[in-house]
Chain A
Amino acid sequence: MTVAAAPAQNAEPIFHVIDEHAHPEGASTMLGFWIYLMSDCLIFAMLFATYGVLGGNYAAGPAPKDLFDLKLVALNTTMLLLSSITYGFAMLTMEKSKLGATQFWLAVTGLFGLAFLGIELTEFHHMIHEGATPQRSAFLSSFFTLVGTHGLHVTFGLVWLVTLMVQSARYGLTAANRRRLMCLSMFWHFLDVVWIGVFTFVYLLGVLR
């Protein structure tokens, strides 16, 4: 009796569940990516705050009214909005496992994204040509940092998009590729949400001021 009880007393007590419950591959990817997006959101919030503080310091240089062409910004906004809905179509065709249609909508999304970047770079080129460089005033420094960071995000989104199109063409719509496409979907729609803030605070309220 005592012999049988001795090992039980000597054994280390365990206060947690030894058996790990099942973690299917990629189950936490969506939540993790969402938390990444939220941290990215904080970066943009800081840049918006910087622009909000410095956006009125023109240093006797050009003001938003002199620089911004709202027609061009409206066109740019349209491009990004259209790319958002076409990515939505890509996700819908992906759920139906139609590889060709998914690739088509991804390509259309990429073209709209390229158009957005092209228009934005044209605008930047025009501004810099007129002497409205980031060094000109605090307003322009914060403007180029905020809008440029958004543009960089779109650029990396496009690189990611092309990568996933190649991946899907090679390996098909596997579970991993679907997961990646869903992450990019969140990223892409998130960039559109940030752009709402940019065209409202920077362009529309800037011209209004």
Chain B
Amino acid sequence: MTTDSHAVHTDAGDHGHDVHGGAAHGSLKSYLIGFGLSVVLTAVPFWLVMTGAITDKAITALIVLVLAAIQIVVHMVYFLHMNTRSENGWTMMAMIFTVVMVVIALTGSLWVMHHLNVNMMPVHDMSQMP
């Protein structure tokens, strides 16, 4: 009876983690895939900017930003093991909320301050002078 109840207890203890949907773990393969992708996604933007391979700066900036966004997702998936199941989806909910806050704060600040700068700029239009 005692061994039986003990077995049940350890069984519950082992599976309690899964029931609660605990943190996900990575494998050697997933870490190496993430590392390989990160190396490429880091090397390419540095190479683009340091050599000036693309003469149009706007296009280079756009590529660099897109690669950074991809690398952030790669890190989230392969290193931080983000998925929709861990902690019953609450980590994902917390992250979505944070991303929304970050996007509002960043775009809001840059947008408002850019317009402030534009409107506060002294107008050097001599034809308008009295």
Contact = CB atoms under 8 A, between A and B. Distances in A.
B94 A204 contact: no
The bracket for how many chain B residues form the interface is 35 or more
SS class of chain B's interface: helix, strand, loop or mixed?
helix
Contacts of B79: 84, 88, 189, 192
Interface stretch (A2-10, A23-31, A124-132, A150-158): A23-31
A61 interface: no
Given A30-B87, A196-B75, A81 B39 contact: yes
B80 A186 contact: yes
A193 B75 contact: yes
Interface in B14-54: 16-17, 20, 22-23, 25-28, 31-32, 34-35, 38-39, 42, 45-46, 49-50
A38 B80 contact: no
Nearest to B64: A204
Contacts of B23: 30, 182
A201 B91 CA distance: 26
Range class of the A interface residue count: 35 or more
Contacts of B61: 205, 208
B7 interface: no
Interface string B58-89: 00110011001001100110011000000100
A41 B97 CA distance: 11
A52 B114 CA distance: 10
A200 B94 contact: no
B109 A38 contact: no
Majority SS of interface residues in chain A? helix
A22 interface: yes
Interface in A174-194: 182, 186, 189-190, 192-193
Interface of A: 22, 24, 27, 30-31, 34-35, 38, 41-42, 45-46, 48-50, 52-53, 70-71, 73-74, 77-78, 81, 84-85, 88-89, 91-92, 95, 182, 186, 189-190, 192-193, 196-197, 199-200, 204-205, 207-209
20 contacts: A24-B13, A27-B16, A38-B98, A42-B102, A42-B105, A52-B110, A70-B49, A74-B42, A84-B75, A84-B79, A88-B79, A89-B28, A92-B26, A182-B23, A190-B80, A193-B76, A193-B80, A199-B42, A204-B64, A205-B61
Interface of B: 13, 16-17, 20, 22-23, 25-28, 31-32, 34-35, 38-39, 42, 45-46, 49-50, 57, 60-61, 64-65, 68, 71-72, 75-76, 79-80, 87, 90-91, 94-95, 97-98, 101-102, 105-106, 109-110, 113
